[in-house]
Amino acid sequence: MNPADRSLGRLGRVPVDELARRAAEVVRGYQRPRAVCVAPNGEVSVEAFKTAIPDEVLGNFSPQTPWPELDRLIRDELVAEFASRRSKRA
């Protein structure tokens, strides 16, 4: 991660709804879209898309997206990622 990236917590340790809320708040603080990423260890972060590791990017989200929709979009991506990781462990 770059110094400007924001770490939000670890998937599986912090509830998905809370991670989505945190990510949406960070994205809304920027003027340009930001990538929400999940590292192999489950760490969720918000990063500049151009510097993010492509395999870790869940989506590139616009700060102009209305709050409830932005929160939902990020939550849906995090839920899908969490389910994918759980099924790989089973």
Question: Domain coordinates of the chain in residue numbers?
Answer: 6-89
Q: Is pLDDT at 90 greater than 80 in this prediction? A: no
User: What are φ and ψ of residue 61, in 5° steps?
Assistant: -115, 135
* Averaged confidence pLDDT in the chain: 94
Residue 37 token pair: 């990423």
Q: What is the mean pLDDT of residues 6-33?
A: 97
Q: Which residues contact 17 (CB under 8 A, 6 or more apart)?
A: 75
> What pLDDT, on the 0 to 100 scale, is given for residue 30?
95
Q: Is pLDDT at 72 greater than 90 in this prediction? A: yes
Q: Is the pTM of this model over 0.75?
A: yes
The H or E element containing residue 65 is none
Q: How far apart are CA 87 and CA 81, in angstroms?
A: 10
Q: Is pLDDT at 60 greater than 70 in this prediction? A: yes
> What pLDDT, on the 0 to 100 scale, is given for residue 1?
64
